[in-house]
Amino acid sequence: MAFGAEELRVLRRALALALHPSPASDTDVRECLRLAESVDEAARESARMRAFLLADLDRYRAALPGTVTGYLSLLQDALAAGHRPGADDLAALRALRGNATAAALLDRCRTLAEQGVRDRLEARQRPRVPASRARLLALPGGLSAADRPAGPGPATPERPVPTPAEVFPPKRRPAQPPAPSQRLVAG
């Protein structure tokens, strides 16, 4: 995620207020809330795009071996987006070991899968921070979520993840001309 100059100014002000509590002006509070909403929207869109990518990956994996090139490309994109390969990915890559790209991805995915197992085991042993202490809920002198007036819900309802066929509909072939036997003979 990249921030523009104005967004960085607002973020810097919010961090200064969090580190050095002082009354915040109404303008600062509104700008911080607007920035928080923009960041939340970007995070939701990122999650939606990731879900779309993973759904595509599942479809391509199900159509293997006919979709080898597409599957390997999508798997690389998913790994770059933070996807942890699962047992299905490892099994598919083992079946495609004859392909040099698949063999290299198999080594990378094994390493990532092993690291994922280690991370989950380590997370179980770490003490957890309560959710109420993990986030900044309000700015000093500003409005908390409970103090804000309730407005209408989101302008658009949550959208389902579209399938590739919905995003890129297949091209329609022109209709075949009628066969010569079906033509009317004038006489």
pLDDT of residue 76: 92
pLDDT of residue 111: 93
- Rounded Cα distance, 58 and 117, in Å: 21
pLDDT of residue 42: 87
pLDDT of residue 110: 93
Residues contacting residue 103 through CB under 8 Å, at least 6 positions apart: 93, 97
Q: Could you tell me what percentage of the chain is helix, strand and coil, using 3-state DSSP and rounding each to the nearest 5?
A: 60, 0, 40
- Rounded Cα distance, 107 and 105, in Å: 5
pLDDT of residue 106: 93
pTM of the model: 0.53
Task: Supply the DSSP string of 68-119, one letter for each residue.
Answer: HHHHHHHHHHHHHTTPPP-HHHHHHHHHTTTSHHHHHHHHHHHHHHHHHHHH
Tens place of pLDDT per residue across the chain (187 aa):
677 888 888 888 888 888 888 888 888 888 888 888 888 888 899 899 999 999 999 999 888 888 888 899 999 999 998 899 999 999 999 998 889 999 999 999 999 999 988 988 888 887 766 655 555 555 555 555 555 555 555 555 577 777 777 777 667 776 776 666 655 555 4
pLDDT of residue 112: 92
Burial class for 93, CB neighbours closer than 10 Å (0-12, 13-18, 19+): buried
- Rounded Cα distance, 82 and 85, in Å: 9
SS3 49: helix
pLDDT of residue 136: 52
Residue pointed to by tokens 């002082």: 22
